[in-house]
Amino acid sequence: MTKNSDHAKHMFFYLLAFFALGFVATAIGQVVFQLINRAIVETTPSYSGDYTQGVLRFAVSALIIAAPIYYFATRKINSELARDNLDPDSAIRRWLTYFAIFIASAVAIGDLIFTLNSFLSGELTVKFLLKATTIFAIVGGFGAYYFFDLKRQDFTRDARLRIFGGVFIAILLTCLVAAFTLVDSPFRARELREDRERLSELQQISYAITDFYNQNSALPQNLETLVEDSKIREEVLRDPVSDEKYQFETVDSQNYKLCANFTYSNSEENPREYFVDPAWEHDSGRACFSIAISEKENNYPRVEVKPL
């Protein structure tokens, strides 16, 4: 094979590397940003300044999938250059590299604008400075590599290339370790989702009971009455894991209790990820809620929920 003999293959590896690079650079930034948000807590809720595991989970997923693709695609490109199968001065190589630098610069400008806007909206100064430094470091690091790559002449024994590779792997592993120490395991995340489903079903039952009371001026005798009256689906009345029926107990004509078993407490849920009405806060284990229906307000019963 001679130089420039396979433009399509070379374009494929360049595009693959740059596409993966976009996810890798974004994920590294997200991990660092979340570490900053966790270490420096805002005094008031902030959309961009609050720590959230959802962002970390996406970053971990992106690094695990995209980083190896980027690494091996880049190694393939360097191998083609070293074997003289790719002309260092080819239009494909130069145009695509400069285009990647342009895209990275455009994303960095957007991130800096967003970060500055958060600072002007009240985010702590130290967080703004750390996040801005992170953006410059990521874009500067990858930009330095590609400018070096365009100008280098030795494609077989350049020690600087190994330095770039070593630094990249070290940063990647550091981000993954940091993220994995903070993010919930898949098993815990699934159990938390199950708890949220239980709470959601209790709330649906409460709404259905209120609707029943509004029409009949009385509480239902049991939860099956709601199904018979087409107020709710039967599967909502059962725990999504154990399939046990939720406990419903009338106290008097306008007060009742709903109970369920929860794996975790929801009192410390991150509002950025899952909003919890304080009236529906619960501890782990069996939890009950006292629900009172009072006189109609604006032609509809007023409901008050209290954890027991």
| Interval 19-51: pLDDT, tens | 999 899 999 999 999 999 888 877 666 666 678
Torsion angle defined by CA atoms of residues 116, 117, 123 and 129, in that order, rounded to the nearest 10 degrees: -10
Q: How far apart are CA 282 and CA 14, in angstroms?
A: 52
- Dump pLDDT digits (tens) for 53-78: 888 999 999 999 999 999 999 888 88
Tell whether 147 is covered by a domain: yes
Q: Are residues 109 and 229 in the same domain?
A: no
By C-alpha distance, which of 293, 297, 301, 214 is closest to 258? 293
Tell whether 2 is covered by a domain: no
Say what the pLDDT of residue 209 is: 93
Mean pLDDT computed over every residue of the chain: 86
Tell whether 212 is covered by a domain: yes
- What six digits make up the tokens of 184? 């919930």
CB atoms within 10 A of CB 307: 14
Q: pLDDT class for 117, splitting at 50, 70, 90?
A: confident
Q: Are residues 136 and 245 in the same domain?
A: no
- Greater pLDDT, 248 or 45: 248
Say what the pLDDT of residue 245 is: 94
- Residues across the chain: 308
Q: Is 289 helix (H, G, I), strand (E, B) or coil?
A: strand
Torsion angle defined by CA atoms of residues 295, 300, 306 and 308, in that order, rounded to the nearest 10 degrees: 80
Q: Are residues 170 and 252 in the same domain?
A: no
Q: How far apart are CA 260 and CA 248, in angstroms?
A: 10
Tell whether 84 is covered by a domain: yes
Number of structural domains found in the chain? 2
Tell whether 232 is covered by a domain: yes
DSSP-assigned beta bridge partners for residue 303: 293
Q: Are residues 117 and 217 in the same domain?
A: no
Q: Are residues 224 and 132 in the same domain?
A: no
> Which residues are within 8 A (CB) of 7 and not within 5 positions of it... i.e. 6 or more apart?
90, 92
User: Where a domain ends, among 182, 203, 235?
Assistant: 182
Q: Are residues 100 and 40 in the same domain?
A: yes
CB atoms within 10 A of CB 104: 20
Say what the pLDDT of residue 9 is: 83
Enclosing domain of residue 178: 7-182
Q: Are residues 155 and 206 in the same domain?
A: no
Tell whether 1 is covered by a domain: no
Say what the pLDDT of residue 45 is: 61
At 288, give phi and psi (nearest 5°). Answer: -125, 155
User: Where a domain ends, among 182, 216, 242?
Assistant: 182
Q: Are residues 100 and 171 in the same domain?
A: yes
User: Where a domain ends, among 182, 203, 224?
Assistant: 182
> Quick check: 250 pLDDT over 80?
yes
Say what the pLDDT of residue 297 is: 58
At 294, give phi and psi (nearest 5°). Answer: -105, -170
Tell whether 88 is covered by a domain: yes
Q: Are residues 191 and 264 in the same domain?
A: yes
Tell whether 198 is covered by a domain: yes
Q: Are residues 261 and 211 in the same domain?
A: yes
Q: Are residues 141 and 78 in the same domain?
A: yes
Say what the pLDDT of residue 70 is: 93
Q: Is the pTM here over 0.85, yes or no?
A: no
Say what the pLDDT of residue 271 is: 64
- Greater pLDDT, 136 or 276: 136
Q: Are residues 119 and 213 in the same domain?
A: no
